[in-house]
Amino acid sequence: MRTDTDTPWGSLPAREHLPVEALDAGAPTGVPVLDVVIPVHNEERDLESCVRRLHDHLARTFPYRFRITVADNASTDRTPAVAARLAASMTEVTAYRLEEKGRGRALRTVWSHSDSPVLAYMDVDLSTDLNALLPLVAPLISGHSDLAIGSRLARSSRVVRGPKREFISRAYNLILKSSLSARFSDAQCGFKAIRRDVAERLLPMVEDTGWFFDTEMLVLAERAGLRIHEVPVDWVDDPDSRVHIVSTAVDDLKGVWRVGRALAVGALPLDRLARPFGDDPRDRAISGVPGGLARQLVGFCVVGALSTLFYLLLYSLFRTASGPQAANAAALLVSAVANTAANRRLTFGVRGRERAVRHQAQGLVVFGIGLALTSGSLAALDAASGNPAHGTELAVLIAANLAATVLRFLLFRAWVFPDRRGNDEKPHDHEARTQERSAR
């Protein structure tokens, strides 16, 4: 899994609508707004009809300048000659030759060299209805979304394909949802787009060079909090598809395992893809409210609720074999370690192994304070009633944990996981610090 990228450090800026001058289709020269890549390998029979049909559609319906790039993946037939002839006959068409196979390699290479602010790709068979192309890229042009995908599994999509491919597609997406917690509906549809500023940082993190490239890109983008727009599409299966289902499925499962393991250990610098909390400037102008406080409160509450349930379950389990004080200490210790790890990753966005041991040690200090509050409450209850019922013990512990929770959040935010940038730190200062930490 790639972690040593050449992309700029620091989080992404807020999304913005593309400048009006960039969208002026009447300008005699300028950078195309959209670059549609068609990756091909030995497609001499279908390539010309595909490119001409796509070019005609864009010329008639797309209101901005565009480019069609044929990315030849080491073809051994006449595909390079067909691509060169098309590029010579139409100014909006270019040809790019790669000496190695791999759809992911072709997309990464062409997208990395493109100057267009919006990058897209589609399969050469044009299985997807081209009327979905403008709805696909419009949210990227407007600044609403970071990536966009066509979905064959949306309720309003209309799909024609055999039961075998239908089963494989749905089973694969089910695997992604259960193993990688993916929320997008269709990872394999060959109809996707991405903003170039996002691609510059995201693509160097994507390791796969084949068919899993799309899935890996989407999973990392979603985990980083980027916005993925889905467009229902009309799609007709190509009966002459050359995808080798078994080998592709094996490679995909290997990719799922690799990406899942990297995400589990925090090996990817996904903070480089983070957008500001609220792209509307009004969200960043609320005086007296520290940045990210609302998001952290929500995350802390969710983690806290789950930790409390876990703690009460452990307490009830340990209580069957020991006294209330010992059961409370053991349950609180185990749940505190889990709570610190969860808050470190989910609430305060700290990834990687740096300072992990220190954070756990500080979390145990916070645990000691919580232990004092809950143990003191149990001692006071025992002194007042002598032999309290188990339900009464749980009620007192819940109240004591609520008080400890408020204190825990304040200590986590101010001491364990502080925002080390500070309010007065300039962006380049944070960039230098990040580079210094990475070098270590």
Interatomic CA distance for residues 235 and 126, integer angstroms: 9
Number of alpha helices (DSSP H) and beta strands (DSSP E) in the chain: 13, 9
Active site residue: 123, 146, 186, 214, which one? 214
DSSP string, 276-343: PS-SSGGGG--TT--TTHHHHHHHHHHHHHHHHHHHHHHHHHHHTTS-HHHHHHHHHHHHHHHHHHHI
Burial state string for 131-155 with b = 16 or more CB within 10 A and e = fewer than 16: ebbbebbbbbbeeebbbbbbbbbee
Interatomic CA distance for residues 122 and 38, integer angstroms: 6
Based on its alpha-carbon atoms, the radius of gyration of the chain, rounded to whole angstroms, reads 27
Query: Do the beta carbons of residue 206 and residue 160 sit within 8 Å?
Result: no
* Strand 118-122, strand 191-195: pairing: antiparallel
Catalytic (active site) residue 214: yes
Please list, in sequence order, all residues whose beta carbon lies within 8 angstroms of the beta carbon of residue 77, skipping any fewer than 6 positions away: 42, 44
Q: Can you say how many angstroms the Cα of residue 193 is from the centroid of all Cα atoms in its chain?
A: 15
Cβ-in-10-Å burial (0-12, 13-18, 19+) of 388 comes to middle
> Hey, what amino acid is at 350?
V
Instruction: Find tokens 């749980």 and name the residue.
Output: 394
| Alpha helical stretches, state H, 62-185 | 79-89, 103-113, 133-142, 163-180
Interatomic CA distance for residues 58 and 133, integer angstroms: 9
Query: Do the beta carbons of residue 273 and residue 219 sit within 8 Å?
Result: no
Catalytic sites, residue numbers: 214
